[in-house]
A and B are shown apart, each in its own frame.
Chain A
Amino acid sequence: MQVFLQTIVGGVSLGAVYALVALGFSLVYRTMGLVNFAHGNVVTVGAYLASTFYLSTKLPFALAMVIAIALTGAIGLVIERVLRPLENRDFDLMLIGTIGFGIVLDALIIMIWGATGRAVPSPVPSAPLDLFGLRIRTYDLVVLAIAAVATVLLVLFLSRTKRGAAMQAVAMDHEAATAVGIHVGHSNAVAFMIGGGLAALAGGLVGPLLYVSPALGGALGIKGFAAAILGGFGSIPGAIVGGLAIGILDSFTAGHFQGYSELVTFLVFTVIIMVRPTGVFGERTVNRA
């Protein structure tokens, strides 16, 4: 039982990071119906930016994160602007376009930071807490708290602000949204920008948990996507539940299958998609003739 609980605790903080990655995917999908395949690479960029400002320029961790978020937000804007001619037209081409951006970002990462990775020391160096015999790292709690705050802010933005409402409206019906005066392009750009910001948030937070390397984003991106699908694509609570579930699954497979944990995670994910493509919280869509 103790081991079981410890495994869950171990998975939760990574799960929170997956949830943040999933939120980025979901937000862009919600507004544009597009899966941004470059998202994982943006996460890597975010991780490098945050760790660079934190380690090299000795900025406080929080400030380093904020700068990283601003920069990746800008990357999101660039991606949206370049692919805008394809919006609402050909989604397979847009998908390949985002893969193209992923390829470019991947190369830029290696150019700027080199092919070897770096370890990021935890910004909260206190000893782990002991709670009923469970060891909980303080940094894990920080990650959980930040992820929770980010989620709440995102929900508030979507539900309480004019821009947030407009973004959702664009997702539901871009023609009607245009007719009430919403600039669809701007709305999508904001979605991409927030998606980019969330990527840096996830990347920056994951730095001290994992090793920051060019390969970071690949696995993180796919697991985040798996989390998004598991919860039901485009659903915010779905992204959270999916992220935590994948994190815990990860933690268990790491315990039981060691090196094969990724293999098992992806197989489980494939089976889930086969059984229920719309995820746990997803809606069924109808094919219209």
Chain B
Amino acid sequence: MRSRLALIALIAVAAWLLPYGLDSYAIHVVNVILIFAILATGLGLAMGIAGQVNLAQVAFFGVGAYVTAILTTRAGLGFWVSALLAVAATVAIGLVVGTPALRVQSHYLGIVTLGLALAFTNWVTNAEITGGAEGISAIPVPVLPGVDLSSEYLYYYLELIVLALALGFGLFVVRTGLGRRMRAMRDDSLAAGSLGAEVPLLRMTAFLLASVYGGVGGVLYAGLIRYVAPESFGIANMFLLLAMVIIGGRQSLIGCVVGAVSLALVREALVDHPTIAQVAYGTVVVLVVVFAPTGLAGLPARARVLRQRRRGRQGAAPRLGPFTPYEPTAAPPDQATTMLRVAEVTMRFRGLKALDRVSLTVDRGEIRGVVGPNGSGKTTLFNVISGLYRPTGGRVEFRGRDMTGSTPYRLARAGMSRTFQNLRLFGDLTVEENVLVALDRSRTLSSWRYLLGPVGILRRDRELHRQARAVLDRYGLADFAGLPPKSLPYGIQRRVEIARAVAAAPSLLLLDEPAAGLNGEEVRQLSDIVRAIRDSGVTVIVIEHNMGLVMSLCERITVLAGGRVIAEGEPAQVARTPAVIEAYLGDSMSSDDLPSVPEVTR
């Protein structure tokens, strides 16, 4: 911690002293580099942190610069008023550019944003108000009392402060709730949604942030160069910006800044051979993508791993601790209310009936098992209940309210939580952050607090960290808090996912094959955990193939086969139903030779 503070202080002092060693051309170059660094930070937030492919960052930059230019030269407004309006205009454009992200992702989003960026260039080259291909010159010098900003040396300090603020704010967002939810959405938008992250709003927030940074960069550019023309905002610069972010490491804002600075320096060194520079950085982008996807920012971590491997593992290996049961809720709910009612739900996929008029009712405080052979529609049922699929027919009522076809994040906020058959942990977040995403219930709309009440945000985040530690302690996962989940053994990953789902404080918990891939001891622990969760007042529905677990754990079982409910009732009774035996074992032998005492095997 202290060494990090010292490093920051050192960089600050070096940055402050830098102009003293530079001639007037060099300071100009540095000023341009700083603007690229701001733009790259914004692009990093959208692409690296939130996973939204944004190839319109250069257009945001252009909107900021052009609006400043137009308002100062054509409307005669002051520079700073124009600057504010320019950033506002950029945000408006940013939100428009971001709307396709609500419908499409990845490649499609890339091409749409690129198309809109080209549309922008097309507009400024042709419109009269933007001065056509000539652009707008004679933008007035921004006035700051006591500081002559026409000196590029002094302008440097203005930019430096803005960059420091922009980077600081970006890091603040990334390390607290909003950024965590965005990173979770990037790693797995389905899982993030089912933990209550408002995916559509978060995607728009990503574009909003990117456009603010773009707009600020544009304003600074207009004030620095005092001349704008279309070619500064073309595709070539977009790809240069993208290369900066990729080479620097898109998932780290500091990496983006480092990438921007180093690539801009290389470009400057090759200023007489721009095409050679372009071939070089294009090649580097390809190589980075194939060999070092985390970019420059990922190198320290890679080196650390290599060093550790060479030395061999040292110190105590992290260990899974025991699970501490919850305090049982004092009084069980006196009236048996219905938690979930699924009525006549049908789900068709292109003619295939995955669910055929399935009905079931789960009471508060129950542990319900849903079993059935492979392909019988169990997971489809969960996906309908948790809002991932909108059923073709039928109703889903949750806590007495009709929630058919509601979005996963609304259901999650209404108190539903789930795990996934194939584990959907956020791979690039730590175990603790995985839990934090679930714990944090702040709304994306209240993110204005990041500007107006950063202290409150920090305080709340500290409180969340405390709660997350408590959750990890309870589940015996404290040793793994700082590790990425992918590095952990399967059984522990399963437990992390359950801890994460329960951290969301659900009233209904859906577990999709929680015992798959666990060994006998782990299954026994799982059974204890699930029972303790129920005793703390949570209703649980379990899909499971391990019949031993189902038999010992569940009060009632619903059996699906071929998308229909073929039996429902108490475990022992259901297991003797000929239809169930046939569906499972493929025969309908009498149940005489079945042992009668349910027990956990495996």
A binding-site residues for B, Cβ under 8 Å: 34-35, 37, 82-83, 85-86, 90-97, 99-108, 110-111, 218-219, 222, 225-226, 229, 258-260, 262-263, 266-267, 269-270, 273-274, 277, 286-287, 289
Contacts and interface: CB of A to CB of B under 8 A. Distances in A.
A263 B293 contact: no
B279 A86 contact: no
B359 interface: no
Interface stretch (B13-21, B87-95, B109-117, B160-168): B109-117
A58 B125 CA distance: 36
Given A99-B239, A270-B112, A263 B286 contact: no
B125 A99 contact: no
Contact of A262 (B107, B118, B190, B388): B118
B484 to A, nearest CB: 16
Question: What does DSSP make chain B's interface, helix, strand, loop or mixed?
Answer: helix
A90 to B, nearest CB: 7
27 contacts: A91-B107, A93-B293, A95-B107, A95-B110, A97-B290, A99-B285, A100-B283, A104-B282, A106-B282, A108-B275, A108-B279, A110-B278, A222-B115, A229-B108, A260-B122, A260-B123, A260-B126, A262-B119, A263-B123, A263-B126, A266-B115, A266-B116, A269-B115, A270-B100, A270-B112, A273-B103, A273-B112
A282 B281 CA distance: 36
B114 A222 contact: yes
Given A273-B108, A289-B379, 7 more contacts: A35-B107, A106-B282, A107-B275, A259-B122, A270-B112, A273-B100, A274-B103
A40 B190 CA distance: 33
B239 A102 contact: yes
Interface residues of B, number: 50
A-B pairs with lowest CB-CB distance, top 4: A103-B282, A100-B285, A107-B278, A259-B126
Contacts of A266: 115-116, 118-119, 122
A269 B283 CA distance: 31
A96 B290 contact: no
Given A96-B242, A107-B278, A273-B100, A101 B379 contact: no
The CB with the most chain A CB atoms within 10 A, among B107, B116, B279, B285, is that of B107
B289 A277 contact: no
B275 A111 contact: yes
B375 to A, nearest CB: 13
A146 to B, nearest CB: 26
Nearest to A283: B350
A225 B109 CA distance: 12
A254 to B, nearest CB: 12
Contacts of A258: 126
B190 A97 contact: no
B403 interface: no
Contacts of A85: 290
Interface in B231-273: 235-236, 239, 242-243, 246
Contacts of B103: 273-274, 277
Contact of A83 (B108, B242, B290, B383): B290
B53 interface: yes
B285 A263 contact: no
A289 B123 CA distance: 42
Nearest to A275: B103
B260 to A, nearest CB: 16
Contacts of A260: 122-123, 126
A218 B190 CA distance: 34
Interface string B122-152: 1101100000000000000000000000000
B279 A111 contact: yes
B241 to A, nearest CB: 11
Nearest to A276: B103
A142 B108 CA distance: 33
Contacts of B324: none
